[in-house]
A and B are shown apart, each in its own frame.
Chain A
């Protein structure tokens, strides 16, 4: 999604959003990422990422991508009204906010070139899929971890049930949304 993205051309508008809308966004973020809802009041994790008093900016971009940025630093983004995706830098800070899948070493190169992740990369010895008791449904947002690495290499969207991935073992399993080194990664500050 962010393979080619130049802030100069692809950003349509930047607006600070109404507090009522912000409240709405907060609620859906909390719903989508249970990790962020941990803690009470001041100590809530989301409060740490995005303090209630701070105004978040909505950056509208081409192709119906909206990025939510705090003081110019992108935090979350969204395609149409789809699920929220955390940016990779945020995910690095809170690695447990998303369910994780792992890819083997051979696939890292392709992931960092922007390719979608195929089933064999996840099912092979170096890959990692959750056990069937914790299967990940289709359409879920996942963190793509890599074999032998501590930090996530990308954020993806499941194209299949994780159980199905094991069974079919062919074709696209995870669509990569943002990955290390893409243009969203290089966009550290939206001015």
Chain B
């Protein structure tokens, strides 16, 4: 270990470990992840030499090592099951994501003053804080992230900027990238009557 390297070189160099881009594990552990077949594809494409090392027939035989054949079979079945489960989960999440709506609501503060509240952006992987900052900059008004009555986070922007926000989502500005315009719901909330139309 303690090689006499140059003066500015540390005696122990860090090892650069390659991580699988699919499951983030070192490729030798992909088999225990929940996306083995995808990991295999990735490794075969990106690092054929390593693929050979981990997944060739010889390696597989060696891998079984001290385990009995029965146990190995069980392990294989388990990993197949796990993969199927993870896939089902992912597709369910995807479906949910597709279905989830963005609600843009105009709330009346008093008479002619409004605030616009935007809900449901987080389902599309938008950082709410950044989005609120973007709105604040764009409209030159106050904009904040707050919890509403249901305990969900929403962005509240001062002023009635419903249409502008929709336009921004359609144009996919900045952090709003990837938010589908189809899922937008526009709501205008009026304050309960009384005193307003005097």
Whether A189 sits at the interface, judged by CB under 8 Å, is no
| Closest Cβ neighbor of B75 among chain A residues | A109
Whether B110 sits at the interface, judged by CB under 8 Å, is no
- Kindly identify, within residues 137 to 186 of chain A, every residue whose CB is under 8 Å from any CB belonging to chain B: 147-151, 153, 180-181, 185-186
Interface centre among A104, A108, A126, A151 (most CB of B within 10 A): A151
- Kindly identify, within residues 11 to 50 of chain B, every residue whose CB is under 8 Å from any CB belonging to chain A: 11-12, 14-17, 23-26, 28-29, 32-33
Whether A93 sits at the interface, judged by CB under 8 Å, is yes
| Closest Cβ neighbor of B31 among chain A residues | A108
| Closest Cβ neighbor of A95 among chain B residues | B15
Whether B152 sits at the interface, judged by CB under 8 Å, is no
Assembled-state Cα–Cα distance A49/B13 (Å):
10
Q: A43-B9, A149-B29 are in contact. Are A109 and B17 (CB under 8 A)?
A: no
Q: SS class of chain B's interface: helix, strand, loop or mixed?
A: loop
Which residues of B lie under 8 Å from residue A190 when comparing CB positions?
A: none
Contact A35 B65 (CB under 8 A): no
Interface centre among B2, B32, B62, B78 (most CB of A within 10 A): B32
Q: A125-B66, A151-B26 are in contact. Are A93 and B9 (CB under 8 A)?
A: no
| Closest Cβ neighbor of B2 among chain A residues | A38
* A residues whose Cβ falls under 8 Å from a Cβ of B: 35, 38-39, 42-45, 47-49, 89, 92-96, 104-106, 108-109, 112, 124-126, 147-151, 153, 180-181, 185-186
A-B contact pairs, 9 of them (CB 8 A): A43-B7, A43-B8, A43-B10, A89-B17, A92-B17, A124-B66, A148-B62, A150-B26, A153-B29
